[in-house]
Every structure is written in structure tokens, then in C-alpha cells.
Amino acid sequence: MPKFTIDLSQGTVDKLQVLVQRSNENQGTNLTLQQWLKGNADEMAIAEELGLAVTALQEQQQKDANAALDASIRAKRAELLADA
């Protein structure tokens, strides 16, 4: 696995530490700054692919919902016609 070294100013580290602390409190985790940065880099790396997958899943769910609605409408129509 490639390793990267970056130089950050103390001011940047201080601000990032605040974000890490807030994130840890919100998520019930105890990540270090390094772990938090790696996790965020990983999330950024998959963001576009995940977005495409979410869109595809939403479209499929909508198609499935429409198919179920159509089937329910046809069943209700048949029921009403049978009683007519």
C-alpha cells in the first residue's frame, strides 16, 4: 500500500482536531487524526461510484414500486369489475 507524507501547519492540525473530536462525539468513535484523514480520503475515493450506485438503486426501487402499484391497480380493477 502506498504511503504519503504531508506537511500541515499547526493551525490546520488544530482545526482538523476539532473536526475529529466532533466526528468522534457524533459517531461514538475514538479515531485519531490520521485515522480520520484516511477514512475521509477513502470516502472521497468512492464518492462518485457510490453516487452512481445510489442513483441506480433509486431508479430500480422506483420501477419496482411502479410495478407493484400497477399490479395493485389491476387487481382492484378486476375485483370491482367482478362485483359489477
Mean pLDDT of all residues in 59-81: 98
Give the single-character DSSP code of 47. Answer: H
Whole-angstrom Cα distance, residue 56 to residue 54? 5
What pLDDT score was predicted for residue 50? 98
Judged against a pLDDT cut of 90, whether residue 73 lies above it is answered with yes
- 32 — phi, psi (to 5°)? -80, 170
What pLDDT score was predicted for residue 64? 98
Structural domain boundaries in the chain: 10-83
Residue whose C-alpha cell reads 473530536 in the numeric block = 21
pLDDT tens, residue by residue, 5-48: 999 999 999 999 999 999 999 999 999 999 999 999 999 999 99
- Single pTM value for the model: 0.71
CA 41, 43, 49, 51 torsion-angle sign: negative
